[in-house]
Amino acid sequence: MAHPQYDVCIIGAGIIGLSTAFRLTEAGKTVLVIDRKGMAAEASAGNAGALAFADIEPLASPGIMLKAPRWLFDPLGPLSLPIGYIPTILPWMLKFFRSSLPDRFEQGAAAQTALMDLSRTETETLFAAAGVDGLLRRDGALSLYEGEKAWLASLPMWEARERHGIGFEHVTGSRLAELQPGLGATVTHGTFVPHWLTVSDPLDITTAIGQAAIERGAYFRVAEVCDIGEGEDSVVLSLADGSQVKAHEVVVASGAWSHRLAEKLGDRIPLETERGYNTTFPKDAFDLRRQLVIPGDGFVITPLDTGLRIGGAVELAGLERAPDFRRSEIMVEKTKRILPGLKTDTGKQWMGFRPSMPDSLPVIGRSPNAPRIIHAFGHGHLGLTQAAATALLVRDLVLDRPLPIDLSPYRPQRFS
């Protein structure tokens, strides 16, 4: 049954939007979730399944400046940029490089750490409340390095993580082989993060949280929002079928498409698209004990209920360009060197759009031009990781409660 006016309408049914719907419904709000395709139909369906609370370093970092010239114009590198897209993305890239300056990087890392700390505590609370904690895996993650030089280069990052209370163990030899049997001879060093969490499958966890919200009274509708505007006492959403929806407040959580709705409010938010690629093989393709992280090439290898998924890397190429599945293929080839016994006879390729801000921090906060509208997007490849924290923060904004962390680093107008 539809309502003449909802307390909150959430635009976007990915992990951010559905987690927020659960928390708001749990708090007694009448909630409608609208998505143009359906639950978990975009990036939330195909991610790597990691709850990467240890990833406190923004992508925009001082070290990226040294690697960027080599990476950006390698079409198969860990961070690539098609030459034809440069004029479009240039303003975003300038902000990205500015965010990588040492002082801004330190501020970004502090803000990322605060959000990760909140995410770490809230994720298990949310999953338990939604009845999906059985889909969590507690096997940890193993970062792999090919040669001592690559491992030594990683140590400053691990030292920074240690300062923030993140536990890990550097491993070689028999301990490395114990954590993951069957590694290739080129893999000489590893770092094990025992408290790293993954999920059984990102599609399953997202839809399960969405169903839990519906069971508690949330409504769901497949529709495309064409326009958004703040009225005197409500927000009016105009849909593609000609109908309208009214809500006291609206949350924009549409991932890589969110900035298009924000622009209709006069909010100019520099959101770009990290296009992520993966290939999923059957579960018996390799005896994978836990998620493997390949820092030097920017991808991960994850055991899921639905198979073994090899994915990651970043392609900055917007929403319209056709996928370049050579990126998936090169990750598979690199994995065959790391896991020589990998069976690659059958695999399903996928490409998804991840919403990325120049400073690697999401946008969380009220629109400066329309205070009844709350933005909650721009999490890059950390949407699953930061969903529970974002849902809590948006709930507290709606309920006008004190916030557990300072939201100023994530404010929508920070690049104005």
In a domain, 185, yes or no: no
pLDDT (mean) for 177-197: 96
- Tokens 């909630």, located at residue: 31
Predicted confidence (pLDDT) at residue 159 exceeds the cutoff of 90: yes
What DSSP element (H or E) covers 301? strand 299-304
Model pLDDT for residues 42-98, shown as the tens digit of each residue: 989 889 999 999 999 888 887 766 666 666 667 677 778 888 888 999 999 999 989
Q: Is residue 150 part of a domain?
A: no
Q: Is 40 within a domain?
A: yes
- pLDDT score recorded for residue 232: 80
* Euclidean distance between the first and the last CA atom of the chain, given in angstroms as a whole number: 41
Q: How many domains does one find in the chain?
A: 1
> Contact at 8 Å (CB) between 191 and 292?
no
> Residue-wise over 271-307: b if at least 16 C-beta within 10 A, else e?
bbbbbbbbbbbeeebbebebbbbbbbbbbbbbbbebb
Q: Report the pLDDT value the prediction gives residue 1, as an integer from 0 to 100.
A: 47
Q: What is the pLDDT of residue 77?
A: 72
Would you say 369 and 266 are in contact if contact means Cβ atoms under 8 Å apart?
A: yes
Q: Which CATH number does the domain housing residue 341 bear?
A: 3.50.50.60
If one counts every other C-beta atom within 10 angstroms of the C-beta of residue 220, the result is: 19
pLDDT at 83: 83
- Residue 189: inside a domain, yes or no? no
For residue 366, give its domain range: 6-140+195-410
**Statement: residue 308 has pLDDT above 50:** yes
Task: Choose among 68, 64, 58, 163: nearest CA to 106.
Answer: 58
Tell me the pLDDT band of 128, cut-offs 50, 70 and 90. very high
Residues 6+ apart with CB under 8 A from 59: 79, 314, 356, 360, 380
Residue that wins the pLDDT comparison between 10 and 416:
10
Q: Write down the mean pLDDT value for the chain.
A: 93
pLDDT band at 313 (very low <50, low <70, confident <90, very high): confident
Helix (H, G, I), strand (E, B) or coil at 202: helix
Residue 160 within a domain:
no
Q: What is the mean pLDDT of residues 103-123?
A: 94
371 lies in a domain?
A: yes
Q: What is the pLDDT of residue 69?
A: 64
What mean pLDDT comes out for the span 400-409? 97
CA distance linking residue 190 with residue 172, whole number of Å: 6
Residue 119 lies in a domain: yes
Question: Is residue 154 in some structural domain?
Answer: no
Q: Read off the pLDDT of each residue in 29-47 and give the average, rounded to a whole number.
A: 94
- Let me know: does 278 contact 48? Beta carbons within 8 Å: yes
Measured in degrees and rounded to the nearest 5, phi and psi for residue 379 equal: -85, 0
Rounded to two decimals, the pTM is 0.94
pLDDT computed for residue 19 by the predictor: 98
Q: Is residue 211 predicted with pLDDT exceeding 50?
A: yes
Average pLDDT estimate for 17-35: 98
Considering the chain, what percentage of its residues have pLDDT values greater than 70? 96
Helix axes 102-129, 15-26, angle to 10 degrees: 60
130-151 pLDDT, tens digit per residue, is 999 999 999 999 999 999 999 9
Tokens found for residue 214:
């519906």
